[in-house]
Copies of this chain bind each other. A is one copy, B any other.
Amino acid sequence: MTADRIDLDAHQLADLRVIVDGRVSTNESVLDQHGHDESAFPPSRPSAVVMVNSTEEVSRVLAYCNTEQIPVVPFGAGTSLEGHVVPIFGGVSLDLTNMNRILEIRPDDLLVRVQAGVTRMALNEKLSTYGIFFSVDPGADATLGGMAATGAAGTTTVRYGSMRENVMALTAVLADGTVIRTGRETRKLSAGYDLTRLLVGSEGTLAVITELSLRLFGIPEKMGAAVVRFPTLHDGVAAASAVVRSGVPIARCEFLDALSIRNINAHDHLSLSESPTLFFEFHGSPESVMEDGRVVQEILSEFHGTEFEWANDEGARRKLWQARHNSHFAAAAAHPGKKGVSTDMAVPPSKLAAAVAMVDATLSKQPFPYTILGHVADGNFHSQLMADISKPEELVAIRKLVHEMTLKIIEMGGTCTGEHGIGAGKIDLLVAETGGEAVQVMRGIKASMDPNGILNPGKIFRN
């Protein structure tokens, strides 16, 4: 893949139409819709959008595109924050949203088998009648295939793990159309190389995931959420670290700075005090939830945490987390015409307070509006800077600033991405973080699985 951009000719479009029974679109608005995600990356249209209905169709489309050397970018809900679904080199946007069937629910095995286009909210709605749920929640209503491909995580990862821990087995299609099955629907597995974990987080560059077996959990008897305010950002972050060290089994622990609170108040019609805030959630029996809350409140008071306030009822609890999940959009709504550039740093727990302080000190000296929030119990936090997308120089300035801050995080033993992935924007940071030798190994694996480089070119590695 060396060309700048691949556009399909009439013959290729006709061939693809035969393979997928006509479901090929070159309609302008469809191309636009598949040319961007939720990130601030410059959009780039695919040459065509191909809608697939089955693993078999994915296999035939890929075999064809591999022969014709056409780039293929898998597309789900388009909620990536790192440009994953942007077809930088044109070619085909492979839309899997029609593959939205829940194939098998096995409550006794705490397991579900789904097609890649099922979204997490649709899944959980279906599962709730069985008293079980799928735990990973990145905020957006992403597809499960997309969540696996990007190695998604979210607010409940501290308790239930990320996609890495919750994908048990996959059906995936290689660049040449070969269908493989990885993993096994067993709790333990040691049979050969862990291809499941290799595909999780491979960002569509190694194979197209078409089916997933996912681990589930029983819905806890009681879920209690609470909100606590702090006088300073440092107090809030340090308090969260202390709670983690205490070993109290928190289900969620999210930090939001004062501006994030102001934004979600406006966006979600809440009236939270505009201070640095922690949102907590505890899962268990009614007694254990109250007891966990009590212990946590005691710890927080040492860090000047005040107004520890339980969500009154299930409605209030849901509203709180919906607001947290909307924070990305709330920031955009507060700055009309601007788009957010989100960082995704993570550090070892002992470095968290210093890392957040460094970021806050750096951002407070620059001109762009920003918020800081995140999954602080995991040492993972985001800052979001608002750029005017009509002024490309703003994006350039922000990216430079973020790059420099992230290098400092890497020096502290941290990572450039805890959950969003490398995508198109952190290719150099991946090298800085892992060293060129490890990236060479990744490139070798890529070459062995996708020798023509048709799968999501320009992501993870520069082409």
- The answer on a CB contact under 8 Å between A200 and B194 is yes
A430: chain B residues at CB < 8 Å are 191-192
A66: chain B residues at CB < 8 Å are none
Say which one of A326-334, A397-405, A444-452 lies at the interface with B: A444-452
- The answer on a CB contact under 8 Å between B197 and A422 is no
Docked Cα-Cα span, A165 to B111, in Å, equals 19
- The answer on a CB contact under 8 Å between B434 and A188 is no
A421: chain B residues at CB < 8 Å are 190-191
- The answer on a CB contact under 8 Å between A447 and B448 is yes
- The answer on a CB contact under 8 Å between B191 and A202 is no
Q: How large is the interface on A (under 10, 10 to 19, 20 to 34, 35 or more residues)?
A: 35 or more
Docked Cα-Cα span, A265 to B423, in Å, equals 58
A297 CB–B CB distance under 8 Å: no
Docked Cα-Cα span, A195 to B179, in Å, equals 22
Partner of A106, one of B180, B347, B348, B417: B348
Q: Which of A404-447 contact B (CB under 8 A)?
A: 413-422, 426, 429-430, 433-435, 437-442, 444-445, 447
Number of copies of this kind of chain in the complex = 2
- The smallest beta-carbon distance between A311 and chain B, in angstroms, is 23
- The smallest beta-carbon distance between A407 and chain B, in angstroms, is 14
- The answer on a CB contact under 8 Å between A245 and B190 is no
Highest count of chain B CB atoms <10 Å: which of A198, A414, A419, A449: A198
A315-354 Cβ-contact flags toward B at 8 Å (1 or 0): 0000000000000000000000000000010111110000
**A182-B434, A245-B108, A442-B195 known; A188 vs B201 contact (CB < 8 Å):** no
Docked Cα-Cα span, A153 to B188, in Å, equals 8
A162 CB–B CB distance under 8 Å: yes
**A188-B419, A350-B108 known; A444 vs B449 contact (CB < 8 Å):** yes
A33 CB–B CB distance under 8 Å: no
A460: chain B residues at CB < 8 Å are 192-193
A181 CB–B CB distance under 8 Å: yes
Say which one of A2-10, A232-240, A374-382 lies at the interface with B: A374-382
- Mind listing 28 A-B residue pairs with CB under 8 Å? A108-B245, A108-B349, A153-B190, A165-B165, A178-B440, A180-B437, A181-B434, A182-B438, A184-B433, A189-B346, A189-B418, A190-B415, A190-B417, A191-B430, A192-B422, A192-B438, A192-B460, A193-B198, A194-B197, A194-B198, A195-B441, A197-B198, A441-B448, A444-B448, A444-B449, A445-B445, A447-B448, A448-B448
